[in-house]
Amino acid sequence: MTTTSSITTATEAASAEGRVLHAKQDPAYKATKAPVEGKVYFSYADIHDTVSKMVPQILEFNPSVIIAIGGGGFIPARMLRTELQIPILAVSLELYDDSTNTARSTVKKIQWFDEHSEVGSKVRDRKVLIVDEVDDSRTTLQYCVEEVLQTNAPSEVAVAVVHNKLKPKKGRLPEGVVYMAGANVADHWNCYPWDAAAYGNTIFEHEALAAKCTTTAEIEDGGGSNNENTTP
Protein backbone atom coordinates (compact mmCIF):
# COMPACT_ATOMS: atom_id res chain seq x y z
CA MET A 1 0.00 0.00 0.00
CA THR A 2 1.30 3.44 -0.89
CA THR A 3 1.66 5.67 2.14
CA THR A 4 0.93 9.38 2.36
CA SER A 5 4.59 10.15 2.89
CA SER A 6 5.63 8.21 -0.23
CA ILE A 7 3.06 10.14 -2.28
CA THR A 8 4.57 13.37 -0.98
CA THR A 9 8.08 12.27 -1.87
CA ALA A 10 7.16 11.14 -5.37
CA THR A 11 5.18 14.26 -6.18
CA GLU A 12 7.77 16.70 -4.87
CA ALA A 13 10.68 14.88 -6.54
CA ALA A 14 8.88 14.82 -9.88
CA SER A 15 7.96 18.49 -9.53
CA ALA A 16 11.59 19.39 -8.88
CA GLU A 17 12.55 17.63 -12.12
CA GLY A 18 9.94 19.60 -14.08
CA ARG A 19 7.49 16.72 -14.43
CA VAL A 20 4.55 15.35 -12.47
CA LEU A 21 3.64 11.75 -11.72
CA HIS A 22 0.24 10.48 -12.81
CA ALA A 23 -1.27 8.61 -9.86
CA LYS A 24 -2.87 5.33 -10.85
CA GLN A 25 -6.62 5.59 -10.31
CA ASP A 26 -9.23 2.98 -9.45
CA PRO A 27 -10.99 2.36 -12.80
CA ALA A 28 -14.39 2.53 -11.07
CA TYR A 29 -13.46 5.96 -9.72
CA LYS A 30 -11.44 7.53 -12.54
CA ALA A 31 -13.60 9.79 -14.71
CA THR A 32 -11.80 11.07 -17.77
CA LYS A 33 -12.90 14.56 -18.73
CA ALA A 34 -12.72 16.16 -22.16
CA PRO A 35 -13.07 19.92 -22.60
CA VAL A 36 -16.20 21.52 -24.02
CA GLU A 37 -15.25 24.70 -25.90
CA GLY A 38 -11.90 24.73 -24.10
CA LYS A 39 -13.25 24.21 -20.58
CA VAL A 40 -13.69 21.14 -18.38
CA TYR A 41 -16.77 21.16 -16.14
CA PHE A 42 -16.92 19.19 -12.87
CA SER A 43 -20.23 18.37 -11.20
CA TYR A 44 -20.95 18.47 -7.48
CA ALA A 45 -21.02 14.66 -7.54
CA ASP A 46 -17.56 14.60 -9.19
CA ILE A 47 -16.17 16.83 -6.44
CA HIS A 48 -17.86 15.07 -3.54
CA ASP A 49 -16.75 11.63 -4.72
CA THR A 50 -13.15 12.74 -5.18
CA VAL A 51 -13.05 14.49 -1.80
CA SER A 52 -14.51 11.49 0.04
CA LYS A 53 -11.85 9.20 -1.39
CA MET A 54 -9.12 11.29 0.27
CA VAL A 55 -10.58 10.77 3.76
CA PRO A 56 -8.64 7.59 4.69
CA GLN A 57 -5.31 9.31 3.91
CA ILE A 58 -6.35 12.42 5.81
CA LEU A 59 -7.38 10.37 8.83
CA GLU A 60 -3.90 8.86 8.88
CA PHE A 61 -2.49 12.38 9.16
CA ASN A 62 -5.08 13.15 11.90
CA PRO A 63 -5.39 16.96 11.70
CA SER A 64 -6.93 19.06 14.47
CA VAL A 65 -8.36 21.71 12.17
CA ILE A 66 -8.96 22.48 8.48
CA ILE A 67 -7.74 25.73 6.93
CA ALA A 68 -9.81 26.38 3.80
CA ILE A 69 -8.38 28.65 1.10
CA GLY A 70 -11.15 30.84 -0.26
CA GLY A 71 -12.98 30.81 -2.38
CA GLY A 72 -12.30 27.45 -4.12
CA GLY A 73 -11.38 25.52 -0.97
CA PHE A 74 -14.50 26.39 1.02
CA ILE A 75 -16.92 23.78 -0.34
CA PRO A 76 -14.40 20.88 -0.46
CA ALA A 77 -13.44 21.76 3.13
CA ARG A 78 -17.10 21.69 4.19
CA MET A 79 -17.48 18.27 2.57
CA LEU A 80 -14.45 17.04 4.53
CA ARG A 81 -15.73 18.49 7.80
CA THR A 82 -18.71 16.12 7.76
CA GLU A 83 -16.44 13.08 7.56
CA LEU A 84 -13.52 14.31 9.65
CA GLN A 85 -15.61 16.01 12.37
CA ILE A 86 -13.11 18.82 12.91
CA PRO A 87 -13.62 22.61 12.64
CA ILE A 88 -12.80 24.87 9.70
CA LEU A 89 -10.86 28.14 9.57
CA ALA A 90 -11.08 30.34 6.48
CA VAL A 91 -8.38 32.35 4.75
CA SER A 92 -8.75 34.34 1.53
CA LEU A 93 -5.88 34.57 -0.92
CA GLU A 94 -6.04 35.87 -4.46
CA LEU A 95 -3.74 34.96 -7.32
CA TYR A 96 -6.17 35.26 -10.23
CA ASP A 97 -7.86 38.51 -11.18
CA ASP A 98 -11.52 37.63 -11.77
CA SER A 99 -12.05 40.67 -13.97
CA THR A 100 -9.39 39.57 -16.47
CA ASN A 101 -9.09 35.81 -15.74
CA THR A 102 -5.32 36.26 -15.56
CA ALA A 103 -2.79 35.49 -12.84
CA ARG A 104 -1.31 38.29 -10.74
CA SER A 105 2.45 38.51 -10.29
CA THR A 106 2.12 37.82 -6.54
CA VAL A 107 -0.45 36.31 -4.19
CA LYS A 108 -2.68 38.86 -2.48
CA LYS A 109 -3.56 38.19 1.18
CA ILE A 110 -7.15 39.33 1.75
CA GLN A 111 -8.26 37.63 4.97
CA TRP A 112 -6.60 35.59 7.74
CA PHE A 113 -7.95 33.93 10.87
CA ASP A 114 -7.68 35.12 14.47
CA GLU A 115 -5.34 32.80 16.33
CA HIS A 116 -6.88 33.86 19.64
CA SER A 117 -10.37 32.67 18.69
CA GLU A 118 -11.62 29.29 19.91
CA VAL A 119 -10.96 27.53 16.60
CA GLY A 120 -7.90 29.64 15.75
CA SER A 121 -6.23 28.41 18.93
CA LYS A 122 -6.22 24.86 17.49
CA VAL A 123 -3.45 25.70 15.00
CA ARG A 124 -0.33 26.48 17.05
CA ASP A 125 1.59 23.31 17.93
CA ARG A 126 -1.13 21.16 16.31
CA LYS A 127 -1.56 19.35 12.99
CA VAL A 128 -3.42 21.37 10.34
CA LEU A 129 -4.88 20.47 6.96
CA ILE A 130 -4.89 23.15 4.24
CA VAL A 131 -7.58 22.58 1.60
CA ASP A 132 -7.99 24.05 -1.88
CA GLU A 133 -9.82 22.98 -5.01
CA VAL A 134 -6.93 22.83 -7.48
CA ASP A 135 -3.13 22.78 -7.48
CA ASP A 136 -2.40 24.74 -10.65
CA SER A 137 0.92 26.58 -10.46
CA ARG A 138 1.31 25.73 -6.73
CA THR A 139 2.01 29.43 -6.07
CA THR A 140 -1.02 29.96 -3.81
CA LEU A 141 -0.38 26.75 -1.89
CA GLN A 142 3.25 27.69 -1.27
CA TYR A 143 2.22 31.13 -0.01
CA CYS A 144 -0.46 29.74 2.31
CA VAL A 145 1.73 27.01 3.77
CA GLU A 146 4.63 29.38 4.40
CA GLU A 147 2.32 31.99 5.95
CA VAL A 148 0.76 29.42 8.31
CA LEU A 149 4.18 28.09 9.33
CA GLN A 150 5.65 31.56 9.94
CA THR A 151 2.61 33.18 11.55
CA ASN A 152 0.85 30.37 13.42
CA ALA A 153 3.54 27.70 14.01
CA PRO A 154 1.61 24.41 13.69
CA SER A 155 3.46 21.20 14.54
CA GLU A 156 2.74 19.68 11.11
CA VAL A 157 1.05 20.76 7.89
CA ALA A 158 -0.72 18.73 5.23
CA VAL A 159 -2.20 19.98 1.97
CA ALA A 160 -5.24 18.38 0.31
CA VAL A 161 -6.43 19.48 -3.12
CA VAL A 162 -9.32 18.07 -5.10
CA HIS A 163 -7.40 18.26 -8.38
CA ASN A 164 -3.71 18.38 -9.21
CA LYS A 165 -3.05 19.76 -12.70
CA LEU A 166 -0.42 17.73 -14.51
CA LYS A 167 2.00 20.53 -15.35
CA PRO A 168 5.33 21.93 -14.12
CA LYS A 169 4.87 23.97 -10.93
CA LYS A 170 6.15 27.46 -10.21
CA GLY A 171 5.69 27.10 -6.45
CA ARG A 172 7.33 24.59 -4.13
CA LEU A 173 6.07 23.34 -0.79
CA PRO A 174 8.43 23.45 2.20
CA GLU A 175 10.14 20.23 3.21
CA GLY A 176 8.07 18.00 5.47
CA VAL A 177 4.66 19.13 4.22
CA VAL A 178 2.35 16.20 3.43
CA TYR A 179 0.73 16.52 -0.01
CA MET A 180 -2.51 14.80 -1.08
CA ALA A 181 -4.44 15.18 -4.33
CA GLY A 182 -7.82 13.57 -4.92
CA ALA A 183 -7.20 13.20 -8.66
CA ASN A 184 -4.73 14.25 -11.29
CA VAL A 185 -6.24 16.18 -14.19
CA ALA A 186 -5.03 17.49 -17.54
CA ASP A 187 -3.99 21.13 -17.85
CA HIS A 188 -7.34 22.55 -19.02
CA TRP A 189 -9.42 25.44 -17.68
CA ASN A 190 -11.48 23.83 -14.90
CA CYS A 191 -15.02 25.05 -14.16
CA TYR A 192 -16.43 24.18 -10.75
CA PRO A 193 -20.14 24.14 -9.86
CA TRP A 194 -19.90 26.93 -7.27
CA ASP A 195 -18.65 29.20 -10.09
CA ALA A 196 -21.47 28.35 -12.52
CA ALA A 197 -22.83 31.91 -12.61
CA ALA A 198 -19.37 33.29 -13.41
CA TYR A 199 -19.56 31.44 -16.73
CA GLY A 200 -23.13 32.54 -17.44
CA ASN A 201 -24.72 29.21 -16.47
CA THR A 202 -27.37 28.10 -14.05
CA ILE A 203 -26.36 25.18 -11.86
CA PHE A 204 -28.50 22.90 -14.02
CA GLU A 205 -26.73 24.07 -17.18
CA HIS A 206 -23.39 23.58 -15.46
CA GLU A 207 -24.25 20.02 -14.40
CA ALA A 208 -25.36 19.21 -17.97
CA LEU A 209 -22.02 20.48 -19.30
CA ALA A 210 -20.17 18.36 -16.69
CA ALA A 211 -22.05 15.28 -17.91
CA LYS A 212 -21.21 16.19 -21.50
CA CYS A 213 -17.49 16.44 -20.65
CA THR A 214 -17.50 12.94 -19.20
CA THR A 215 -19.52 11.46 -22.05
CA THR A 216 -17.32 13.10 -24.68
CA ALA A 217 -14.18 11.82 -22.97
CA GLU A 218 -15.50 8.28 -22.76
CA ILE A 219 -16.20 8.27 -26.51
CA GLU A 220 -12.80 9.74 -27.39
CA ASP A 221 -10.83 7.64 -24.90
CA GLY A 222 -12.77 4.40 -25.28
CA GLY A 223 -13.83 4.41 -21.63
CA GLY A 224 -10.62 5.69 -20.07
CA SER A 225 -7.14 4.39 -19.40
CA ASN A 226 -5.54 3.08 -16.25
CA ASN A 227 -1.88 3.44 -17.13
CA GLU A 228 0.70 5.10 -14.92
CA ASN A 229 2.76 7.63 -16.87
CA THR A 230 4.93 10.69 -16.54
CA THR A 231 4.60 13.92 -18.46
CA PRO A 232 7.33 16.47 -19.24
Evaluate whether 146 touches 174 at the Cβ level (below 8 Å): yes
18: left (phi over 0), alpha (psi -120 to 50) or beta: left
Q: What is the CB neighbour count within 10 angstroms for residue 159?
A: 24
DSSP line for 165-213: ESS--S--PPTT-EEEEEEEE-SSEEE-GGGGGGGT--HHHHHHHHHHH
Q: What is the CB neighbour count within 10 angstroms for residue 177?
A: 20
Q: Which of 136, 187, 195, 221 is catalytic?
A: 136
E-only strand ranges, the chain? 20-21, 39-41, 65-70, 88-97, 102-111, 127-135, 156-165, 178-185, 189-191, 230-231
Evaluate whether 157 touches 63 at the Cβ level (below 8 Å): no
Active site residue 136: yes
Kindly list the catalytic residues.
Answer: 136
